[in-house]
Amino acid sequence: MTYSSHPFLRANENRPVHAGFDDDTTALIKALGFTPRRYAAETVIVRQGENKDRMFVVESGWGCIAHELAGGQRQILDFALKGDIVLPQFNGGGALETFVALTDLSVLVASTKTFALAAMKSPPLFSVILEALVQNGAVIAQHLTNVGRRSALGRSAHLFLELIARLERVGAVNHDSFECPLTQYDLADVLGLTPIHVNRMLRELRERKFLEFRHGHVRMIDRAGLIKFAGFAGEYVES
């Protein structure tokens, strides 16, 4: 998932990292066949069932990867954030997941065939992708645990702690606060709750003085207390 700390993709330690890339690495990846693309908010980039075998590196914006169910419901499996690698799963019939831009989204994109050829030229790039896939599995495991075993309040707290940890790694957090474009419907679809239940959980987190989520902005009020309450161990978001 997030790969910005890998030595192949690490920028100068004394300056901010943009999507995990320094200029030389960006040029290399583009030379290996990855091309820049921009998608408007709410664009379906890969639809479940489509035979579009591509991979993406997120440079800016928010996206989500979801499994769509009959009747219009969906389960959000993960969010695609700055510095993430998105590799939708495929079988013989097409994509198993839908990849959607939640905000305006800038990515580098290549076919998996192009990536395979690129990896032959650049083993470190192949290593980065493997690490990203391992980390993606760890994130999905935590989301499954959220839905299956954590309380509604616990899973809500855990998700916000995961988001701030991931965003912190790419310089998108300021004084324990970050911009968050997720709606209560998005949160409901990742947490396995109803939007009304999500609203109650957000109110309870605010009343307990753990965090505040207003107008697309999350502010951690008592991050240490929230970590203790949620039993959050953030090693799984580290590379």
**Averaged pLDDT for residues 53-69:** 93
Count of all residues that appear for the chain in the document: 239
Q: What is the pLDDT of residues 100-136, one digit of tens each?
A: 999 999 999 988 888 777 777 777 777 777 787 888 8
Q: How far apart are CA 50 and CA 171, in angstroms?
A: 34
Domains of the chain: residue spans and CATH: 7-143 (2.60.120.10), 151-237 (1.10.10.10)
Q: Let me know: does 94 contact 135? Beta carbons within 8 Å.
A: no
Structure tokens at 194: 């109803």
The backbone torsions φ and ψ at residue 141, rounded to the nearest 5 degrees and listed phi first, read -60, -40
What proportion of the chain, given as a percentage, has pLDDT over 70? 88
Please report the pLDDT score of residue 116 as a whole number: 77
In this prediction, residue 69 has a pLDDT band, given cuts at 50, 70 and 90, of very high
Q: Comparing C-alpha atoms, which of 106, 102, 108, 114 is closest to residue 189?
A: 102
DSSP secondary structure string, 126-192? HHHHHHHHHHHHHHHHHHHHHHHTS-HHHHHHHHHHHHHHHHHTTT--SSSEEE----HHHHHHHHT
Q: How far apart are CA 69 and CA 88, in angstroms?
A: 17
Structure tokens at 151: 């309380």
With a cut of 80, say whether residue 21 has pLDDT above it. Answer: no
Q: What is the pLDDT of residues 28-46, one digit of tens each?
A: 677 777 889 999 999 999 9
CA atoms within 13 A on the CB side of 136: 21
With a cut of 50, say whether residue 149 has pLDDT above it. Answer: yes
With a cut of 80, say whether residue 192 has pLDDT above it. Answer: yes
Mean pLDDT across the chain, nearest whole number? 86
